Chains A and B, each alone.
Chain A
Amino acid sequence: MALNRDFVGRTFEASAPYEVSRTKIREFAAAIGDDNPIYRDKDAAAAAGHPDVIAPPTFPIVFSLSGAGEGISDPGLGLNYAMVVHGEQRFEYRRPIYAGDELVCTSTITEIRSVGRNEFLTIRSDVTSTSGELVCQAYNTIVERGGAA
C-alpha cells in the first residue's frame, strides 16, 4: 500500500530532552570497536580543544528518531514496518556532541516518494540544545520494500 502523502510536513517532538552521558558515549564507542580516548578521557578531549568527551559521528542515531517513532507508527501513514530497511543516512554537524549536553530533537517528515516498487520516506531531525542552539541535523531515509506495488 502506498504511504499517505498527507504525512509530508508533519513534525514530531521528542517528549523530553536527551541527556548525553559519558557512560553512554563510552558504551557506544565500545560497541563500534573504537578505542579513541577522545570518547573516554576528558583530558584527551581537552587536548583536542573540547570541554568534555565528545560523541562519535553516528551517535545521534541513538536518540534522533525518538519523536518520529510516534509518526511512523501511526496507522494512518500505512507503513508496514516489517518490510522496512534503512536506505540512507546523513548528518550535518554544527558542533560536536559533548557529554553533559541536553538535546531537544524535533523530527519532520520531509519527503515520501516511490522508486520502482518501493516507498522512500525521509525524516529530518533537528537537534538543538535546550537554549535553542542548533547542534546537528540528521536525515534518515527508510525504504518500505514493495510498498508502492
Chain B
Amino acid sequence: MAATIKYDEVQVGQEIPAADYQVRRVNLVMYAGASGDFNPIHWNERHAKSVGLPDVIAHGMFTMAEGGRFVTDWAGDPGAVVEYGVRFSSMVVVPDDDQGATITITGVIEDKLEDKRVVVALNARSGDARVLSKARAVVQLS
C-alpha cells in the first residue's frame, strides 16, 4: 500500500478541495448492472413516483462510491483505505435530462491516529440536501 500523501505533511483541520460528480440516468443504469441492484426506483420514473418518490433516485451505494473516489483520488492508492462508512441522510434525485444531478463532496482531516493513519470526514451534498452524514474514511498514509 503506497499512499502518495505523507502523514507528516497533513494537519488536523486541513481541507481537501471540493469535487463535483455528475449523475445522469445512464450512470444509474450502469451502476445497476455493475452492482446487481436492479431496484426500479433507480431507473424507472413511473415506479419511483408510484411509491411516493419525486423522481428516480440514485443508489445510495453510488453516492458512497463517489465519496470513496474522492478519498482514493486524494490518497493516491485505493488500497490505503482501511475503513469507510456512511449514513444515507437524503436522496439524490436524478431528473431525466442531459444534466442529471450533481454530487458535491468536500473533505477535512478530522483526526490523526497511530500508525500514520488519518480520519477523513466527508460532506456530500446534492442541491440543498446533505446526502451523506457521518461519512468517515480511515486512510493509511505513508
Contact = CB atoms under 8 A, between A and B. Distances in A.
Interface of A: 24, 27-28, 30-34, 36, 38-39, 48-50, 54, 56-58, 61-62, 82, 85-93, 95-96, 139
Interface of B: 1-2, 21-22, 27, 30-31, 33-37, 51, 59-62, 64-66, 68-69, 71-73, 76-79, 81-88, 134, 137
Contacts of B73: 36
Given A39-B78, A61-B35, A62-B36, A90 B66 contact: no
B84 A91 contact: yes
Given A33-B69, A58-B65, A93-B83, A85 B77 contact: no
Contacts of A39: 78
A90 B31 CA distance: 19
Nearest to B31: A31
A139 B78 CA distance: 20
Contacts of A62: 34-36
Contact of B86 (A30, A31, A50, A90): A90
Nearest to A90: B85
A96 B79 contact: yes
Contacts of B34: 24, 27-28, 30-32, 62
Given A31-B35, A32-B66, A49-B1, 14 more contacts: A31-B33, A36-B72, A48-B76, A48-B77, A49-B2, A54-B79, A56-B65, A57-B65, A62-B34, A62-B35, A82-B51, A86-B61, A88-B87, A88-B88
A58 B61 CA distance: 8
Contacts of B62: 32
A24 B36 CA distance: 11
Q: Give me the 9 closest cross-chain CB pairs, A-B, nearest first.
A: A90-B85, A31-B34, A96-B79, A31-B30, A32-B65, A57-B68, A86-B60, A28-B34, A58-B65
Contacts of B36: 62
B35 A28 contact: yes
A48 B37 CA distance: 31
Contacts of B65: 32, 34, 56-58
B33 A58 contact: no
Contact of A56 (B22, B51, B78, B88): B78
B64 A89 contact: yes
Contacts of A90: 83-86
19 contacts: A24-B34, A28-B34, A32-B31, A32-B69, A38-B77, A48-B77, A56-B69, A56-B78, A57-B68, A57-B84, A57-B137, A58-B84, A61-B37, A62-B36, A85-B88, A86-B61, A89-B64, A89-B85, A93-B82
